[in-house]
Amino acid sequence: MRLFLIPDTYRGDTSLILVENDYHYLIRVLRYKIGHKFLGRDSKGNVFDLKITEITENSCILQVKESLGEHLKLPEIVLYQCVCKGKKMDQVIRQATESGVSKIIPVVSDFSVSRIDTDKKGKLDRWNKIVREAIQQSGSLIDTVIGNPVSIDKLLEIGDSKGIEGELGLFFHQEVLDSGTLHGYLSAGPMKVFLVIGPEGGLSTRETEVLFNKKFKSIYLKTNILRAETAALYGIGAVQTILLESENWVLR
């Protein structure tokens, strides 16, 4: 089911009038009619059942009720995505948002071809627009946030530096760097997972050493060498599937 992002001006009323872009999106783009029901989420993460009760030439009115349905709670995943070229980065952000990632932090790495220093605001504005569109299209209940760009060296050390247990940092690599497995690392049931995905040229030897020092674990993908944009979606999907099915694991 599609999800509508309720405007920040909403203050908890039982009805909501929409005009301009929001009205155009629901009535002109999605072609919703009177009586159509769908989910909405406000800026605080609250979920509502919405129903269109009236449509005029320039506005529509929604009935707003607190949603009492059970909604799937996804594991909290933070994606550290090394900046890819052009539309590849846009694709990663769109797919990661649709998958329910809680935060996406662009990383300027040693082998990043694309740089975002000179046009940071313009790119961040475009990425935030992509996030909003992806949330509404996919129905994700996760409020995905785009963080400020950082370098590998600025990533926080997992767990120890913040005194938080239940965190796990992973980075995917095309070579075997240690003997750990994805299922093995996730068997501890981390509350929060940080994923590092390299750029088109991969991670440098220096960067892998930095990640190991920050308590990140290396995962070797036993598949073909994946494009950066493919690796991101593959990694997110693998982590989510294992964690969501953990209650059904059978120990041998």
Section 74-93 average pLDDT: 89
Pick the CATH number of 3-66 from 3.40.50.1240, 3.20.20.70, 2.40.240.20, 3.60.15.10: 2.40.240.20
Q: What is the mean predicted confidence (pLDDT) over 189-202?
A: 89
Distances in whole angstroms, Cα of residue 246 to Cα of each of 2, 32, 169, 187: 27, 39, 18, 8
- Give 245: exposed, middle or buried? Use CB within 10 Å, 0-12, 13-18, 19+: exposed
* Residues of the chain above pLDDT 90, percent: 45
Would you say residue 83 has pLDDT above 50? yes
**pLDDT tens digits, one per residue of 133-176:** 998 888 888 889 999 889 999 888 876 544 456 899 999 887 77
Which pLDDT band holds residue 62 (cuts at 50, 70, 90)? Answer: very high
More confident position, 83 or 164: 83
- Residue ranges, comma separated, of all CATH 3.40.1280.10 domains in the chain are 76-248
In whole angstroms, give the CA distance from residue 101 to residue 117: 24
User: In the predicted model, is pLDDT for residue 74 greater than 90?
Assistant: no
14, exposed or middle or buried, with CB in 10 Å at 0-12, 13-18, 19+?
exposed
Task: Tell me the chain's radius of gyration from C-alpha atoms.
Answer: 20
Is the pLDDT higher at 76 or at 249? 76
Please list the residue range(s) of the chain that carry CATH number 2.40.240.20. Answer: 3-66
Whether the per-residue pLDDT at 118 is higher than 50: the answer is no
C-alpha to C-alpha distance for 205 and 187, rounded to whole angstroms: 28
Predicted pLDDT at 80: 96
Q: What are the two backbone dihedrals, phi and then psi, of residue 85, each rounded to the nearest 5 degrees?
A: -75, 135
Q: 78, 105 in Cβ contact below 8 A? A: yes
Check pLDDT > 90 for residue 125: no
Q: What is the mean pLDDT of the chain?
A: 86
What is the number of residues in the chain? 252
Note the Cα 124 to chain centre separation in Å: 15
Distance from C-alpha of 227 to C-alpha of 225, rounded to nearest angstrom: 7
Instruction: Please say if the pLDDT value at position 36 is more than 90.
Output: yes
Output the six-digit token pair for 97. Answer: 């948002």
> What is the per-residue pLDDT across 238-250, written as a single tens digit (0 to 9) for each?
999 988 887 666 5
Q: What is the C-alpha to C-alpha distance for residues 90 and 229, in angstroms, rounded to an integer?
A: 9
Helix, strand counts (H, E) of the chain: 6, 12
Q: What is the pLDDT of residues 1-31, one digit of tens each?
A: 678 999 988 888 999 999 999 999 999 999 9
- Say how far apart CA 133 and CA 4 lie, in whole Å: 10
Ranges of H-type helices in 150-252: 182-186, 205-213, 228-244
Place domain 76-248 in its CATH homologous superfamily. SPOUT methyltransferase, trefoil knot domain (3.40.1280.10)
Alpha helices in 58-119 (DSSP H): 87-98
Half-sphere exposure at residue 2, Cβ-oriented, CA atoms within 13 angstroms: 19
